[in-house]
Structure 1
Amino acid sequence: MGEHAIEAVGLHRSYRSRTGWLRPQRREVHAVAGVDLAVRHGELFGLLGPNGAGKTTTIKLLNTLLIPTGGEARICGFDVVRQTREVRRRIGYVFGGDRGLYDRLSARDNLRYFAELYGVPGREQKRRIAELFALVRLTGREDDRVESYSRGMRQRLHIARGLLHRPRVLFLDEPSIGVDPVAARELRQTVAELAATGTTVLLTTHYMAEADELCGRIAVIAGGRLQALGTPAELRHHADGRRVLEVQAYGVTDGQLAAIRARPGVREVSLAVHGAAQLLGVQSDAGVDVQADVLRELSGVRLGRVTARQPTLEDAYVAIVNRAAEPTPLVGGVPA
Structure 2
Amino acid sequence: MIELTDLTRTFTTRRGAPPARALAGISFGIDRGEIFGLLGPNGAGKTTTVRILSTLLTPTTGTATVAGLDVVTEAMAVRRRIGVAFGGERGLYDRLSARDNLRFAAQLYDLPRRDTKRRIAEVLDVVGLADAADQRVEAFSRGMKQRLHLARALIHDPEIVFLDEPSSGLDPVAARALRELVLELRLRGKTVLLTTHYMFEADELCDRLAVISEGRVIALDSPERVKASVRVASVLEVDVLDDHTGAVRAVSALPGVVSVQVEQTAAASRLIVRIASEGATDLPIVLGVLADVRTGAAFERRPTLEDAYVALLEERAS
Given the two structures, how large is their TM-score scaled by the length of structure 2? 0.91
- Is residue 282 from structure 1 mapped to residue 278 from structure 2 by the alignment? no
Structure 1 length as normaliser, TM-score?
A: 0.86
1:220 is paired with a residue of what secondary structure? strand
Q: For 1:211-222, what aligned pairs fall within 5 Å after superposition?
A: 211-222=202-213
Aligned to 1:230: 221
Aligned residue for 1:289, secondary structure, equals coil
Q: Which amino acid aligns with 1:14?
A: T
1:72 has 2:63 as partner: yes
Q: What SS does structure 2 have at the residue aligned with 1:140?
A: helix
Q: Structure 1 residues 240 and 265, CA, compared in 2 at 3 Å: closer, same or farther?
A: closer
In the alignment, is the contact (CA less than 8 A) between 2:240 and 2:296 conserved in 1? Answer: yes
Q: CA–CA distance in 2 between the matches of 1:161 and 1:299?
A: 57
Matched, 1:308 2:300: yes
Q: 1:176 to 1:84 in 2, by over 3 A?
A: same
Q: Which residue of 1 aligns with 2:10?
A: 14
Shift of 1:261: 3.8
Deviation at residue 292 of structure 1 after TM alignment: 6.1
Equivalent residue number for residue 91 of structure 2: 100
- The yes-or-no answer on 1:318 pairing with 2:310 is yes
Deviation, 1:275, is 5.8
Contact 2:257 2:281 in 1 (8 A): no
* AA matched with 1:313: L
CA drift of 1:92 comes to 1.3
Look up the equivalent residue of 2:143 and give its one-letter code. G
Shift of 1:172: 0.3
Aligned counterpart, 1:32: 23
Distance 1:126 1:249 in 2: 59
Match of 1:269 in 2: 260
Change (3 A) 1:252 1:103: farther
Distance 2:265 2:116 in 1: 44
| Change in 2 beyond 3 A, CA 1:237/1:121 | same
Distance 2:150 2:33 in 1: 17
Q: How does 1:164-203 map to 2 (within 5 A)?
A: 164-203=155-194
Cα deviation code 1:163-182 (max 9, x no counterpart): 11111111100000000111
Letter in 2 for 1:322: E
Percent identity between the two aligned chains = 52
- Relative to structure 1, the CA distance from residue 138 to residue 31 in structure 2 (aligned partners, 3 Å threshold; closer, same or farther) is same
Q: 1:86 to 1:25 in 2, by over 3 A?
A: closer
How far off its partner does 1:276 sit?
6.5
SS in 2 for 1:171: strand
Contact 2:232 2:308 in 1 (8 A): no
- Say yes or no: does 1:44 pair with 2:40: no
Q: 2:232·2:274 contact (CA, 8 Å) conserved in 1? A: no
Asked if 1:132 corresponds to 2:128, the answer is no
What residue in structure 1 maps to residue 237 of structure 2? 246
Cα distance in 1 for partners of 2:243, 2:71 equals 47
Q: How far does the alpha carbon of each residue in 1:138-190 deviate from its partner, in whole angstroms, 9 at most, with x for none? A: 12111122122221111111100111111111110000000011111100011
Deviation at 1:257, TM superposition (A): 4.4
| 2:48 aligned residue (34, 37, 57) | 57
Which segment drifts farther, 292-301 or 153-162? 292-301
CA distance in structure 2 between the aligned counterparts of 1:28 and 1:251, rounded to whole angstroms: 46
In 2, Cα distance between equivalents of 1:240 and 1:186: 34
- What is the match of residue 75 of structure 2? 84
Gap change, CA 1:299 and 1:157, over 3 Å in 2:
farther
Letter in 2 for 1:186: A
Matching residue of 1:332: none
Q: Conserved in 1, the CA contact under 8 Å of 2:33 and 2:189?
A: yes
Compute the displacement of 1:303 (Å): 4.4
8 A Cα contact 2:232 2:258, kept in partner: no
Mark the CA change 1:275 to 1:105 in structure 2 (over 3 Å): closer, same or farther: farther
In structure 2, the residue matched to 1:141 is 132
- Unaligned segments of structure 1, at least 5 residues: 19-23, 327-336
CA distance 1:118–1:275, shift in 2 (3 Å): farther
CA contact (8 A) 1:266 1:290 kept: no
Cα–Cα, structure 1 residues 307 and 51, in superposed 2: closer, same or farther, change >3 Å?
Answer: same
SS for the counterpart of 1:184 is: helix
CA apart distance, 1:224: 0.8
The answer to whether the 8 Å contact 2:233/2:302 transfers is yes
Whole-Å separation in 2 of the counterparts to 1:183 and 1:321: 29
Q: In the TM superposition, what is the alpha-carbon distance from 1:232 to its structure 2 partner?
A: 1.4
Provide structure 2 residue ranges, at least 5 long, that are not aligned to the other structure: none
Looking at structure 1, the residues matched to 41 and 180 of structure 2 have their Cα atoms a distance apart, in angstroms, of: 25
- Following superposition, the deviation at residue 308 of structure 1 comes to 1.0
